[in-house]
Amino acid sequence: MIPFLDLRKTNLQYSKEIKEAINRVVESGIYIQGDENRLFEEEYSNFIGTRFAIGCGNGLNALSLIFKAYKELGILREGDHVIVPANTYIATILSISGNGLIPILVEPDKDTYQIDSQKIEEAITPQTKAILIVHLYGQCAYTDKIGDICKKHNFILIEDNAQAHGCIIKGRRTGSLGHAAAHSFYPTKNLGAIGDGGAVTTDDPLIATTIRSIANYGSVSKNMFRYKGTNSRLDEIQAAVLRVKLKHLEEDNDRRKHIAKEYIKGIDNINIKLPVISDFDAHVFHQFPILCEKRELLMRHLENKRIYTAIHYPLPPHLQECYREWNHRHYPVTEYIHANELSLPISPVLTQSEVTEIITAINNWEE
């Protein structure tokens, strides 16, 4: 049996170090905002290449804290437009609408699945103030064109790096490319905790202090509150575990990359479209998304061989009930991807023989 993702096995790789880290926290007597948080923030900002990292409760909180901080600083206002890819995970869009800002959905490129730089320009309005790019499936979404658009119009560039920890483009890591970036450490992510966790990275000291304050009830010093804040802190145990996982992130990502290359080399079936990868550095393969017009049949064929796959994602945000005001709209590229996408297993603990078994099963499938 090949599960889509064996999280237990993933973490058991580092079980001794993880247990030591957890024990250290239990015995320290400090369970919130202690040394583990401080050190993780230091190590993670060094890794990403930003001046600051601020731990928080989860990835959605990280995104929301960024928007809330820009609003508190008067840089964003209610009703401002934020450009975002139409085919992202729901959390990206919730962070915009949840802050009284208007998500402007832009179609992805049909080959890379990343936001289409050409279509961004068409979506700009006088109210546009920010672009939120998402490094979807682990692939860098940033392009020089996006950078130029932001400079030309003075837009804030925010990255959703929930799926792309460790990804590098031209020597820089995703999470350091814009004004601020949100990271999720949900257990299934490339850098996953053993519970919820998130962080914001930025080079901007004002954004960093504002976010730190908002995430701690809005306090600027003990019992003094400047903002109507919230409570979103990275748990000390999760910070300790993440310090262990961060040390091994690159070997895990290398393993994902190796599997992706095997898939690209080995899969040969006219019913399947493989992802187009121009730069293997700029992809950490959070997912390996293939497109197949008979995806349900392929899924069933693989399940019969006890190989399990997943769909990311079955229904795009604009067709969800929570965004019923958009349900009548059409985003054909997004809808095509959502209707045909199938994610193959690509966890770092997948063995060579499992990879071969998956490739053979796919190549032997006739619809």
Ligand X SMILES: *Cc1c(COP(=O)(O)O)cnc(C)c1O
Residues that bind ligand X (CB under 6 A): 58-60, 88-89, 91-92, 134, 160, 162-163, 184, 186, 196, 198
Q: How far is the CB of 350 from ligand X (least distance, A)?
A: 20
Q: What phi and psi, each to the nearest 5 degrees, are found at residue 131?
A: -120, 130
Separation in Å, CA 184 to CA 8, 179, 264, 265:
19, 17, 28, 31
The residue (of 215 and 355) whose beta carbon lies closer to ligand X is: 215
Element (H, E) at 291: strand 288-291
Q: Which residue is nearest to ligand X (CB)?
A: 59
Alpha carbon 70 to its chain's center? 21
Residue whose CB is less far from ligand X, 91 or 350: 91
Least separation, in Å, of the C-beta of 11 and ligand X? Answer: 17
DSSP assignment, residue 278?
S
Nearest alpha carbon to residue 357 among 345, 349, 367: 345
DSSP state of 54: E
Residue among 7 and 297 whose Cβ is closer to ligand X: 7
CB 161, min distance to ligand X, A: 8
Q: How many CB atoms lie within 10 A of CB 89?
A: 20
- Comparison of 282 and 302: residue with beta carbon closer to ligand X: 282
> Which 8-state DSSP code applies to residue 32?
B
Nearer to ligand X, 206 or 322 (CB): 322
User: In terms of C-beta density within 10 A (0-12 exposed, 13-18 middle, 19 or more buried), how is residue 162 classed?
Assistant: buried
Nearest residue (CB) to ligand X, 62 versus 298: 62
CB of 135 to ligand X, least distance (A): 8
Q: CB of residue 185 vs ligand X: minimum separation in angstroms?
A: 7
Among candidate residues 104, 91, 111, the one with its CA nearest the CA of residue 336: 111
Which residue's entry shows tokens 């792309």? 164
Task: Give the nearer residue to ligand X in terms of CB position, either 233 or 302.
Answer: 233
Q: Least distance to ligand X from the beta carbon of 62, Å?
A: 8
End-to-end alpha carbon distance in the chain: 22
**CA–CA distance, 244 with 367 (Å, rounded to integer):** 44
Closer Cβ to ligand X, 159 or 335, answer by number? 159
* Helix %, strand %, coil % of the chain (to 5): 45, 20, 40
- How far out from the chain centre does Cα 143 lie? 17
Please report how close the Cβ of residue 186 comes to ligand X at its closest, in angstroms.
4
Q: How far is the CB of 240 from ligand X (least distance, A)?
A: 18
DSSP symbol at 51: S
